[in-house]
Amino acid sequence: MSELKNDRYLRALAKESVDQTPVWMMRQAGRYLPEYKATRAEAGDFMSLCKNAELACEVTLQPLRRFPLDAAILFSDILTIPDAMGLGLYFSEGEGPKFERPITCKADVDKIGHPDPEGELQYVMNAVRTIRKNLDGAVPLIGFSGSPWTLATYMVEGSGTKTFTKIKKMGFAEPQTLHLLLDKLADSVITYLNAQIAAGAQSVMVFDTWGGVLSPRDYKDFSLQYMHKIVDGLTRFADGRKVPVTLFTKNGGQWIEQIAATGCDAIGLDWTIDIAEAKARVGDKVALQGNMDPSMLYASPERIREEVSTILSGFGEGNGHVMNLGHGIHLDVEPEKAGVFIEAVGELSKQYHK
């Protein structure tokens, strides 16, 4: 594998010194870019795009051609594991993901197996290999997975949800069934992420999109302990350097000390926590990623720059900050506004890295 020309992102996650704060965006390869829409139209539909290594590589590289980003993230979906478990994933236009065969009882959990990363999920590994080769060492490649709790939420609800009644009903009325499912998912995520690392991912991230809907006790019970298991099971050294792992719980700011205690390298922050407070609470135990509100990209260029400045000064001097949005970029954001954000980070962050 070629040497990394820009390792700013990996250095920041290791809390090593950098010349400026690295920046990438969640969902940076995606619906806000006209070139993405054209490639998706060529693929036919979203999952066909995910399953075509060359096209998945193309959309992964598209934002890097536009913007001076410090990392690429694999183009895929968090629901690849449940899909490979045979739940029948499909996407309804404007309604998001749905499953034909959701999990309703222990018998359903007993039936699902552990997907083979080089079998049912080989298309993901093919994409990782293709992207890594085409990056040619320009920037690191991030692999990812959904968290067990977030995956289980979709699998039990059968689709997206605003109320979480089915998954919480299972958690409170039949906790042993949900724990059985979460444990299977944690094992599958470990295998899946380790396969991504073997295929060339240089850092991995676990997206716990729905952890923030739980109470503090239930968060530890149903979400955090399984992410901790994943961190313990991951390959942490490959290709001659450390493979950092980032945990991101949306609306999880109240639990960052517990997240830091898992042994992860970095915590992803959404925009509902002040980054100065987060840094004060976790000290130099972990790096921090975040945390601008994605909706800020609707603002004027001046306001976007002001927000970047506020977040950078909130983190202040010292190492261990990766600038990002607090969640994925919205599909109707003008690409030029993303450019303002990314360029502002490069320009305004140098003063904190003397």
Q: Where are the domains of the chain?
A: 8-352
Predicted pLDDT at 95? 78
pLDDT for 205 = 98
Of 40, 70, 226, 270, the active-site residue reads 40
Instruction: Evaluate if residue 1 carries a pLDDT over 60.
Output: no
71-119 pLDDT, tens digit each: 999 999 999 999 999 999 998 777 789 999 999 999 999 999 999 999 9
Distance between CA atoms of 116 and 273, rounded to whole angstroms? 38
Per-residue pLDDT for 290 more than 80? yes
209 is in an annotated binding site: yes
| Active site annotation includes 27 | yes
In sequence order, what are the residues at sequence separation of 6 or more whose Cβ sits closer than 8 angstroms to the Cβ of residue 168? none
Q: Is the pLDDT of residue 317 over 70?
A: yes
Q: Is there a catalytic annotation at residue 154?
A: yes
Q: What value does the mean pLDDT take over residues 272-301?
A: 97
Is there a binding annotation on residue 351? no
**Backbone φ/ψ region at 341: left (φ over 0), alpha (ψ -120 to 50), beta:** alpha
8-352, CATH topology level: TIM Barrel (3.20.20)
Reported confidence tier of residue 36, pLDDT bands at 50, 70, 90: very high
Point out the catalytic residue in the list 7, 8, 36, 77. 77
Is residue 30 annotated as involved in ligand binding? yes
Number of C-beta neighbours around residue 203 at 10 A: 23
40 is catalytic: yes
Residue with tokens 């002001």: 306
- Full DSSP string of 26-68: TT-SSTT-HHHHHHHHHHSSHHHHHH-HHHHHHHHHHHHHHS-
Q: What distance separates the 2 farthest-apart alpha carbons in the chain?
A: 59
What does the pLDDT look like over 327-354, one tens digit per residue?
Answer: 999 999 999 999 999 999 999 999 999 8
Strand 266-268: give its sheet, edge to edge: 72-73, 141-146, 203-208, 245-249, 266-268, 287-289, 321-322
Task: Give yes or no for residue 20 having a pLDDT over 90.
Answer: yes
CA angle 249, 255, 344 (to 5 degrees): 55
Digit-coded pLDDT (tens) for 166-220: 999 999 999 999 999 999 999 999 999 999 999 999 999 999 999 999 999 999 9
Closest-CA residue to 258 (of 224, 235, 287): 224
CA–CA distance, 255 with 236 (Å, rounded to integer): 24
DSSP-based three-state secondary structure for 268: strand
Is 101 marked within a binding site?
A: no
65 is catalytic: no
Pairing, β 241-242 against β 237-238: antiparallel
Q: Is the pLDDT of residue 26 over 90?
A: yes
Task: For residue 275, give the H/E element and its range.
Answer: helix 275-282
Other CB atoms closer than 10 Å to residue 123's CB: what's the count? 17
Say whether 320 counts as a known binding-site residue. no
Q: Is the pLDDT of residue 2 over 90?
A: no
- Residue 192's pLDDT is 98
Q: Which two tokens stand for residue 12?
A: 């920041």
**pLDDT at position 3:** 86
Mean pLDDT score, 131-157: 98
pLDDT computed for residue 234 by the predictor:
98
Residues sharing a CB contact under 8 Å with residue 324, sequence separation 6 or more, in sequence order: 23, 24, 25, 26, 268, 289, 290, 291, 292
Catalytic one among 31, 101, 129, 236?
31
Concatenated DSSP letters of 175-240: HHHHHHHHHHHHHHHHHHHHHHHHHT-SEEEEEETTGGGS-HHHIIIIIIHHHHHHHHHS--EETT
- Print burial letters for 130-169: b (CB count within 10 Å at least 16), e (below 16): bbbeebeebbbbbbbbbbbbbbbbbbbbbeebeeeebbbe
How far lies 328's CA from each of 64, 76, 159, 209, 309, in Å?
A: 16, 14, 19, 11, 20
Which of the residues 36, 154, 192, 226 is marked catalytic? 154
- If you average pLDDT over every residue of the chain, what do you get? 97
